[in-house]
A and B are shown apart, each in its own frame.
Chain A
Amino acid sequence: MDFNLLVGGQAGQGLKTVNSILGKVLFREGFNIFSSSDFMSRIRGGHNFMQLRISDQKLYGPDNEIDLLIALDKKTAKIHKEQLKEDGIVLIDGKSEIIDSRAILIPASVIANDINPKGINTVFVGAALKMMGLDLENAEEILPDFFVDEILEDNIKLLRRGYKAVEKIYDNLKKNVTGKESEIFIDGNSALGYGALSGGLSFYSAYPMSPSTGIMNFLAQQQKDYDLVVEQAEDELAAVNMAMGGSYTGIRSMTGTSGGGLALMNEAIGMAGISEIPLVVADVQRPGPATGLPTRTEQGDLLFAVNTAQGEFPLMVIAPRDHKDLFYSSFRALNIADEYQIPVILLSDQFNADSSKNIPEFDFESLEIKRNLIKKADYGKKEYKRYEFTDDGISPRAYPGQLEDGLVLIDSDEHDEKGHIVEDGEMRKRMVDKRACKLEKLIEKDLNEPEYFGEEDIEYLLITWGSSYGPTREAFQLLQADGIKVGLLSFNDVWPLPKNKLKNLAERVELVTVEMNSTAQFKSLIASETLLDVEHDILKYSGRPFTGKEIYNRFLDEVIDNG
């Protein structure tokens, strides 16, 4: 069973509420679920839609062939008509003209006018649940999360009226569905923020920017329950420099933004490099350059992130592949930043950020916070030097006020072991080598090789980084089912680039990167780092995410037929 719902309407019609309620109900019913959204950069009007894909099998991404189209306005029905499956259904308000023989009319506006005209959406939720053969129990439990008092009562009535207004259509959806009691249903931005919070994040300073703002929203909500400060900075320059100030005083600090903000933060990220201040920056990518497409998706910042800031300094770039990974990656990013005293960039994207998925509960037992701060008791009377030369380049890190006699001096200028400005050539060279040396240790000890899916004997290797994993995973399964000898290599750590698994697999197979950008940036990175020749790339840069079927078809056309 693979069932796809699309809910569409204008901005301001409460689409998100419909989607959230339906999403949660379907999750509680035990379905595997992948929910994604397509928003315009506006607050009212236009056309927005959300897709809810449910299945008894694991899901990795969206699908564009619709079973049930819930059209909150006429435009939605028109725009998405072509995507409707032959046996698909359009659910639309009764006063609309019938534009498709597959339409089921529901007197939603009449019902809403009776009870509460603003609640027309809830009528559609009730109707959709009935059509899908589900009951109202979960929905009625969930409504209080969204509404209170009389509005809640109205919405329960609206839900029930919507439920009564249509007939059951799909009998069998729940046939092979198993319980999801030990799972959660979470969006990407929350997962990223949650991972950081679980890593002991104390300070998040950011400037709102789509599609990264959800991280700040999630964390701001937690301030009441945790020792956490979320500050909306006056600009991205302030945001990143505030985070560095927090980190300097010994607390875990982080900022988040999208590509435009990352551009503004570049100088500071370089400073975190030279001054060896642990710093985590989340770049939730959107199509660029400049303002680009604010609410859409792309993986266009890879080489920009890898080459962030002028000069040379150790840096790590991690691109989480999915919702589970977003949580564990941000937790890990804080550990790595502390362990090596370096900046770490988390490269997420709008597709990751604004989609929701069911995943296993996070395993808190497996999490271990590693701060790598000095212990006061161990230090005694020894003179403290913030940039003391050590074998692995990692200097003992104290925070100001920690040692009664030790001062912590950090500098964006080149400096000596105590942090004082120097111009001396020999000291400059030693400091550059000291910093570079930390990355060597990281590569040896903490770099994660990509995850491989597939058999040993393959002819083609699909290569993804970050979120292109999901849809490619689905395509990989479709290709395998066709008997094509294909493997999938999914990178999470992208800088420094882990090379071992790739080099081993690359022998005698054709390599194909699948990326959401127009210049195959990961292919370039592989070429420059490994000298491997990647024969093919499957690229997309319309701002809309890949689907598994799309990659599958393009693989057949572009790789096999042109192979």
Chain B
Amino acid sequence: MVNEQEFTIAAETAWCPGCGNFPLRKALSEALQEMDLKPSQVAIFSGIGQAAKVPHYIKTNGFNGLHGRSLPPAIGARVGNHKLKVIVESGDGCTYGEGGNHILHNIRRNPDLVHLVHDNQIYGLTKGQASPTSEESIKTGIQVEGTTSEPFKPVQFAVGMEASFVARSFVGRQDHLKEMIQRAMKHRGYALIDILQPCVSFNKINTYQWYDKRVYRLSEDYDPTNLDEAFKKSREWGDNIPIGVIYKNEKKTFRDRLLLEDDQPLVEKEFESGDADKIMEKFK
């Protein structure tokens, strides 16, 4: 029997009361706990922002890195110790803005990890500027008459790239979110979940109520392995927002392509310098 409090920490957070990060954290720690994992078997990699503080407020190993760079160190971790359960977690700004190039290439790389994006469609920690996923009509101190760009569409983008696992969930649907996280954890390959969550301090458009009215669960007979259907589904946004596993495609992972010979984590391998002396022959 696992301890009920296995993944939670009694720490004061830097999050606002009512922040969508709270229910997200709850769903994550419950998901991990139900999967019979121990905190030392999990490592969370994050960037910078309010969402990126998760490693401080949950009991796992943590790498709270640089803005936009939540994914790259997770790749290093996949190389060093593939027995660790790797979760990448950051906000929409950090992930889709500052770190945009990394998501693109890690869909190609297909590392076995779970990528949780706290998508509140606004910049929280810098006090309310438009994020890549903000609606065009949003008015902020910077975007005085709305944004100058169209919103980035993460789910459509990821399906378009034929990412290995693409899901959307909403923090207002706890069980659904927990289920998505668990399915992503069990999936072999790169698993993205774009998680809708309100920013109670700065986003006055996309509130709990706004999402609550619009999200709907994919029907039982929806087939996430059908790319054409998935692409169609990924384009739904506005009055009706589908949540669930939009697309799934089991394929070769990053580690499958490495030239490593066995399953022993690199960190546990022994090495003697003298093993390298035979290379000198090449320079004779």
A480 CB to nearest B CB, Å: 31
Question: What are the interface flags for B99-111 relative to A under an 8 Å C-beta threshold, 1 for contact and 0 otherwise?
Answer: 0011011000000
Which residues of chain A from 405 to 456 have any CB-CB distance to chain B below 8 Å in the complex? 405-413, 419-421
Residues of A within 8 A of B102 (CB): 234, 237-238
Distance in Å: Cβ of B6 to nearest Cβ of chain A = 12
Task: Determine the distance from Cα of A271 to Cα of B63 in the docked complex, in whole angstroms.
Answer: 11
Residue of B with least CB distance to A271: B66
Q: Looking across the interface, which residue of chain A has its beta carbon closest to that of B78?
A: A245
Within 8 A of A (CB), among B57-86: 59-66, 68-69, 71-77, 79-81, 83-84
Report B222 CB to chain A, min CB distance, Å. Answer: 32
Assess the A190–B283 pair: CB atoms within 8 A: yes
A303 within 8 A of B: no
Interface contact A401-B84, CB-CB below 8 Å: yes
Chain A residues near B1 (CB-CB < 8 A): none
A197 close to B276 (CB less than 8 A) = yes
Are B72 and A233 in contact, with the CB atoms below 8 A? yes
Give the residues in chain B near A251, CB-CB below 8 Å.
79-81, 266-267
For residue A328, give the distance in angstroms from its CB to the closest CB of chain B. 11
Residue of B nearest to A205 (CB): B76
Task: Say whether A249 contacts B75, CB under 8 Å.
Answer: no
**Are A203 and B72 in contact (CB-based, < 8 A)?**
no
CB <8 Å contact, B69 and A409: no
Give Cα A248–Cα B72 distance, bound, in whole angstroms.
12
Residues on the B chain within 8 Å of A237, using CB: 68-69, 72, 101-102
Is A362 at the interface (CB under 8 A from chain B)?
yes
Q: Does A39 sit within 8 A of B, measured CB to CB?
A: no
Asked if B97 is an interface residue, CB under 8 A from chain A, the answer is no
| Residue among B64, B74, B283 facing the most chain A CB atoms (10 A cut-off) | B283
Q: Which residues of B contact A400 (CB under 8 A)?
A: 40, 43, 61, 77, 81, 84
**Contact status of A408 and B280, CB under 8 A, knowing A203-B76, A241-B72:** no
The stretch of A7-15, A223-231, A312-320 that contacts the partner chain: A223-231
Does B267 lie within 8 Å of A250, measured CB to CB?
yes
B260 surroundings in chain A (CB, below 8 A): 227, 229
| Partner pick for B40 among A223, A362, A404, CB 8 A cutoff | A404
Q: What separation, in Å, do the CA atoms of A531 and B5 have in the docked complex?
A: 60
**Which partner residue on chain A sits nearest B11 by CB separation?**
A420
Q: Is the CB of A268 within 8 A of B266?
A: no
One of B48-56, B146-154, B179-187, B234-242 contacting the partner: B48-56
Q: A248 to chain B: which residues have CB within 8 Å?
A: 63, 73, 76-77, 80
Closest CB of chain B to A326's CB: distance in Å?
13
Q: Closest residue of chain A to B38, judged by CB?
A: A404
| B221 located at the interface, meaning its Cβ lies under 8 Å from any Cβ of chain A in the complex | no
Return chain B residues, CB-CB under 8 Å to A406.
40
User: Cβ of A421 and Cβ of B77 under 8 Å apart?
Assistant: no
**A242, B61: Cβ atoms closer than 8 Å:** no
Decide if A369 is an interface residue (CB 8 Å cutoff).
Answer: yes
Taking a contact as CB atoms under 8 Å apart, the answer to whether A244 and B64 are in contact is no
| B59: A residues at CB distance < 8 A | 407
Asked if B72 and A409 make an inter-chain contact with CB atoms under 8 angstroms apart, the answer reads: no
Q: A229-B79, A364-B273 are in contact. Are A185 and B72 (CB under 8 A)?
A: no
A141 to B53, CA, bound (A): 61
Complex CA distance for A199 and B276, rounded to whole angstroms: 9
Q: From residue 331 to 374 of chain A, which have CB atoms closer than 8 A to chain B? A: 331, 361-362, 364-365, 367-369
- Determine whether A194 belongs to the interface, using a CB cutoff of 8 Å to chain B: yes
Q: Which residues of B contact A224 (CB under 8 A)?
A: 259
Alpha-carbon separation in the docked complex, A194 to B258 (Å): 20
Tell me whether B201 is interfacial, beta carbon within 8 Å.
Answer: no
Q: Which of A230-258 contact B (CB under 8 A)?
A: 231, 233-235, 237-251, 253
B43: chain A residues at CB < 8 Å are: 249, 400-401, 408
Q: Does B213 contact A (CB under 8 A)?
A: no
Residue of B with least CB distance to A384: B40
**Docked complex Cα distance between A331 and B271 (Å):** 13
Contact (Cβ within 8 A) B76 A249: yes
Task: Give the shortest distance, in Å, between A54 (CB) and chain B (any CB).
Answer: 17
Q: How far is the CB of A490 from chain B (nearest CB, A)?
A: 24
Interfacial residues of chain A within 375-422, with CB under 8 A of chain B in the complex: 399-401, 403-413, 419-421
**Contacts A184-B283, A237-B72, A245-B80; is A419 near B62 (CB within 8 Å)?**
yes
CB-defined contacts of A241 to chain B, threshold 8 Å: 65-66, 69, 72-73, 76
Cβ of A186 under 8 Å from chain B: yes
Complexed CA–CA distance, A421 and B71 (Å): 20
The answer to the question of A550 belonging to the interface, with a C-beta cut-off of 8 Å to chain B, is no
Pair A229/B64 contact, Cβ less than 8 Å = no
Besides the known contacts A364-B277, A404-B40, 17 further A-B residue pairs in the complex with CB atoms under 8 A apart: A202-B269, A231-B79, A238-B72, A242-B76, A244-B76, A245-B45, A245-B63, A246-B76, A247-B76, A268-B69, A368-B273, A400-B61, A403-B40, A407-B59, A408-B43, A410-B62, A411-B62
Residue contacts A-B, CB under 8 angstroms, 25 given: A184-B284, A198-B273, A203-B266, A222-B279, A234-B105, A237-B68, A237-B69, A238-B69, A238-B75, A238-B101, A238-B105, A241-B69, A245-B72, A248-B76, A249-B43, A249-B84, A251-B266, A268-B66, A367-B274, A400-B40, A400-B81, A407-B40, A408-B62, A411-B55, A419-B62
- Nearest 7 pairs of A and B residues by beta carbon: A245-B76, A245-B73, A249-B80, A246-B76, A241-B72, A400-B61, A234-B105
Residues of B within 8 A of A (CB): 11, 14, 38-41, 43, 45, 48, 53, 55-56, 59-66, 68-69, 71-77, 79-81, 83-84, 101-102, 104-105, 258-261, 266-267, 269, 271, 273-277, 279-280, 283-284
Residues of A within 8 A of B (CB): 28, 184-186, 190, 194, 197-200, 202-203, 205, 222-224, 226-227, 229, 231, 233-235, 237-251, 253, 267-268, 271, 275, 331, 361-362, 364-365, 367-369, 399-401, 403-413, 419-421
